[in-house]
Structure 1
Amino acid sequence: MIVSHKSMVEEIEIDNVGVKNAFMKVLISPKEGWEGYVMRLFKLKAGGFTPKHAHPWPHINYIISGNGTLHLDGKDNSIESGSFAYVPAGKTHQFMNISNTDLEFICIVPEEGHK
């Protein structure tokens, strides 16, 4: 069980090929008792993006703040605060921040997707 605040969680800079100005916080995971899933908070700073990639697990996303684009299976989709998305397993996707403010979003994946 956990009750906390995002300000209390360590932020990790993502330093991979195809990534720019991206940061992550692990909010809830099996460590806190949610077996099989992980809820992460991503922040893309101005000009930031995740890699264009696909993987064998699905994920769900909820946009907390900012404006951006979710490239999903060949189509660019505008996203903003309040937007949500389901990315099926195997679909190519990429998040991009198109504004001068941070783009923050929740990403929930099966535990295998967080290794």
Structure 2
Amino acid sequence: MMIVSHEKNVKTIKFNNSEVKNAIMKALISPKEGWDGHVMRVMEVGKEGYTPKHSHPWPHINYILEGKGILHIDGEDNEVKAGSFAYVPADKIHQFKNIGEDRFKFICIVPEEGHK
């Protein structure tokens, strides 16, 4: 299977819980599109927004596309901006926060089990 598309054609998933603020996700490539075992997602965190502070038994890879933020990993805050990348190991507490005036947008690649 092959896919060539655009992010605007992908359904937006909004997070609606008290541990998340102003964050959305789009799953761009997954087993459904032919990438067995992994999912590439685009995350967007709005001004003053954040993802949940959490951990899980799988790692993920991140690449920052736009904006600036803090990536908290295992007790350490790391400032990131467009062009930054990170590997978040399994079982480490982590969180993304937007610290800029514009949206904070990044790619997040996880094993299939990590995409809910």
TM-score with structure 1 setting the length: 0.98
Corresponding position of 1:22? 23
Distance in 1 separating the partners of 2:69 and 2:22: 14
Q: Give the superposition deviation at 1:16.
A: 2.3
Give the aligned length.
115
**What displacement does 1:17 show?**
3.0
1:59 correspondence with 2:60: yes
Deviation at 1:7, TM superposition (A): 1.2
1:3 equivalent in structure 2:
4
Q: How does 1:31-70 map to 2 (within 5 A)?
A: 31-70=32-71
One-letter code of the match for 2:65? I
Consecutive unaligned residues of structure 2, counting only runs of 5 or more, are none
Does the residue aligned with 2:101 lie in a helix, a strand or coil?
Answer: coil
Q: What TM-score, normalized to structure 2? A: 0.97
Deviation at 1:50, TM superposition (A): 0.4
RMSD over equivalenced CA pairs, Å = 0.7
Q: Which residue of 1 aligns with 2:76?
A: 75
Query: Identity of counterpart residues, as a percentage?
Result: 63
Q: Structure 1 runs of 4+ off > 4 angstroms?
A: none
Alignment deviations for residues 41-87 of structure 1 (CA, whole Å, 9 cap, x no partner): 00000011001110000000000000000001100000000000000
